[in-house]
Chains A and B, each alone.
Chain A
Amino acid sequence: MRALTLVVMLALVLGGARDVEPAESPAVLLERAHQAYRQGRFPDALDAARRAAQGAPRSRDALLARGTMAEFMGEFDEAARAYGDAIALAPNDPALHYALASLAVRLGDYDRALRELDTIFKSQPWPAQLLFRYAPASVQKRLMATNRVLAQLVQLQVDILMEKGDLGAARQTAWRYAIVEPGRDYCGESKGPDASRVSRDERFTRLRLATLAQPTAGDCIWWYGQYLTDDGYMRLGRLIVTEALKHGDSEERKQPGYRYVRSRLAGGSEVPKRAESLFLAARQRYLRDGDVDGAERLLDEALRVAPSFVRPYTMKARIAQDAGNPDAALQWLRRGLEADPDSWRTLHNLGRSLLELERWEESERALVKAVQLFPEDMEGRLRLARALYAQGKFDRYAAETRNAIQIARGWSRGSAVAGAATFLEKFDRWGPGAAPPPAPDVEPLLGYGQD
Chain B
Amino acid sequence: MGQAVSIYGLSRRGRAPLFIGIAILIVGVGLFAVSLAPTLRGAACGVLGRVGIDRVTPGCAAAARARLAIAAGQAAVVRNSHRAALAHFRAAVAAAPDSADAQLARGETAEILGEYGEARAAYGRARALSGSFEATLGEGELAARIGDVETAVRLLATATPPRRRSATFAFFGGAATMISCAADQWPDPSALWRECVPATRRAGHRFFIASRNAAAQIAFRSLVEDGQRERALAYARDHGWLALSSDWCGGESAFDFETTGALAVLAHPDRAGCAAEHGIRAADLGRVRMARFLLQHALATPLDPSIRARVEHTLRYGLPEHDVPKLAESLYRTASRLDWVYRQPTEEIGVCHKVIAADPRLSWPYHVIGRDHMLRGDHRGALPWLEKALEVGPRDLKALYNYAVTLEWLDRREEAIAAYQKVLAVEPDNAKVHASLGMAFDRLGRHDQARQQMELALQLDPRQREARDYFNHQFGRDARGGPTAFTAR
Contact = CB atoms under 8 A, between A and B. Distances in A.
Given A39-B459, A160-B484, A163-B484, A288 B475 contact: yes
B478 A288 contact: yes
Contacts of B472: 200
Interface in A258-301: 280-281, 283-284, 287-288
A102 B476 contact: no
Interface residues of B, number: 28
Interface stretch (B184-192, B302-310, B380-388): B184-192
Given A39-B459, A40-B455, A287-B475, A281 B480 contact: yes
Contacts of A394: none
Interface string B179-212: 0000110111100000000000000000000000
Interface in A179-201: 199-201
Interface stretch (A1-9, A124-132, A365-373, A379-387): A124-132
A284 B487 contact: no
Contacts of A39: 458-459, 462
B183 A450 contact: no
Contact of A38 (B187, B462, B469): B462
A152 B486 CA distance: 10
Contact of A105 (B187, B189, B484): B484
B485 interface: yes
A7 B325 CA distance: 70
B487 A106 contact: no
Contacts of A160: 484
Contact of A40 (B188, B458, B479, B489): B458
A87 B452 CA distance: 40
A125 B474 contact: no
Given A39-B462, A283-B475, A125 B188 contact: yes
Given A230-B476, A231-B476, A288-B471, A40 B459 contact: yes
Contacts of B483: 101-103, 105-106, 113, 156, 159
A159 B478 contact: no
Contacts of A451: 476
B261 to A, nearest CB: 31
Given A39-B458, A40-B455, A283-B476, A231 B482 contact: no
Contact of B485 (A72, A113, A231): A231
A159 B489 contact: no
Given A127-B186, A205-B489, A232 B484 contact: no
A155 B485 CA distance: 11
Contacts of A233: 479, 484-485
B477 interface: yes
Interface residues of A, number: 47
B64 to A, nearest CB: 46
A284 to B, nearest CB: 5
A163 B455 CA distance: 33
B480 A73 contact: yes
Contacts of A450: 476-477
A281 B480 CA distance: 6
Nearest to A160: B484
A412 interface: no
Contacts of B481: 72
Nearest to B462: A38
A231 B480 contact: no
A284 B480 contact: yes
Given A40-B455, A125-B188, A152-B487, A102 B479 contact: no
Contacts of B475: 283-284, 287-288
A155 B486 contact: yes
Interface string A36-57: 0011110000000000000000
A146 interface: yes
A287 B474 contact: yes
A236 interface: yes
Interface in B438-489: 455, 458-459, 462, 469, 471-472, 474-487, 489
A205 B474 CA distance: 20
A228 interface: yes
Contacts of A128: 186-187
Contacts of A124: 187
Contacts of A41: 459
A402 to B, nearest CB: 29
B476 A204 contact: no
A232 B188 contact: no
A155 B184 CA distance: 21
Interface in B156-192: 183-184, 186-189
A416 to B, nearest CB: 15
Contacts of A230: 476
A450 to B, nearest CB: 4
Interface in A411-451: 449-451
Given A39-B459, A155-B486, A287-B474, A231 B187 contact: no
A150 to B, nearest CB: 10
A155 B469 CA distance: 23
Contact of B486 (A72, A102, A208): A208
A163 B483 CA distance: 11
B480 A159 contact: no
Contacts of B482: 102
A280 B458 contact: no
A231 B487 contact: no
Contacts of B189: 127
B453 to A, nearest CB: 14
A26 interface: no
B455 A159 contact: no
Contacts of B471: 288
Given A201-B489, A232-B476, A288-B471, A125 B187 contact: yes
Contacts of B187: 124-128
Nearest to B486: A159
Contacts of B478: 284, 288
A39 B489 CA distance: 17
Contacts of B477: 201, 231, 450
Contacts of A155: 486-487
Q: Among the interface residues A40, A102, A156, A205, which one has the most CB atoms of the partner chain B within 10 A?
A: A40
A67 interface: no
A74 interface: yes
B387 to A, nearest CB: 32
Contact of A159 (B186, B188, B469, B487): B487
Given A155-B487, A156-B484, A156-B487, A280 B479 contact: yes
Q: Among the interface residues B183, B477, B478, B483, which one has the most CB atoms of the partner chain A within 10 A?
A: B483
A131 B163 CA distance: 42
A39 B464 CA distance: 11
Nearest to A106: B483
Nearest to B472: A200
Contacts of B184: 146
A152 B483 CA distance: 12
Contacts of B476: 230-232, 283-284, 287, 449-451
Given A159-B486, A230-B476, 12 more contacts: A40-B462, A128-B187, A155-B486, A155-B487, A159-B487, A204-B485, A208-B486, A231-B479, A231-B485, A236-B484, A287-B475, A288-B478
18 contacts: A40-B462, A41-B459, A72-B481, A102-B483, A126-B187, A155-B487, A159-B483, A159-B485, A163-B484, A204-B485, A204-B489, A228-B485, A231-B476, A284-B480, A288-B471, A288-B478, A449-B476, A450-B476
